[in-house]
Structure 1
Amino acid sequence: MRRVMSIVGSKWKPIVIWVLRERTARFGQIAAAIEVVSRKVLTDTLQELEADGLVLRKEHAALAQRVEYSLTPGARRCCPFYTNWWGGMRPSTH
């Protein structure tokens, strides 16, 4: 339960998971999708998610400075939870 709360209770971790739910992305793509997060905070968040076993970081040796991030299978299983959670938080249009 503590592990779940460290993820759900974090401001940026659920948002990064949400961004990565559909595709692999590079750092700049994640930053552009979130817009309001600083580079340092995003770097720290990605490192924490990697340490939590939720994000995979893949360096491409042939391409200098090319790193891609994707969700682990375990994190992908959480995506329906996030969809339902955020879906319930959106304001009604009626």
Structure 2
Amino acid sequence: MLALAATSLLAPAAPAFAKERRYYTSDNGVRYWKGDDGRYYCKRSNGTTGLIVGAAAGALLGRAVDTRGERATGTILGAAAGALVGRQVQRGTVKCR
């Protein structure tokens, strides 16, 4: 009975282990893989590091610009704008051709 229960827990995870991608690296350092349709796809960053660094820099810049009151508004708006810009900058650095 215990073996049956353990097997039933692994069954939903089986499709995740079905196929593993093989990554290649080009001369300029871009990682890519070949899809089932024969086309090549590149591995792109999701922009998390850029988001965090941009949010921190934007918060500091927003706090410096907003000199009235508690400066929370400038900090929050600067962090939001910096996060969006930082994410787009990091995601836009990889060019796949």
The structure, 1 or 2, with the larger RCO (C-alpha pairs under 8 Å, 6+ apart) is 1
**Larger Cα-atom Rg:** 2
Q: Which TM class, normalised by the smaller chain length?
A: under 0.3
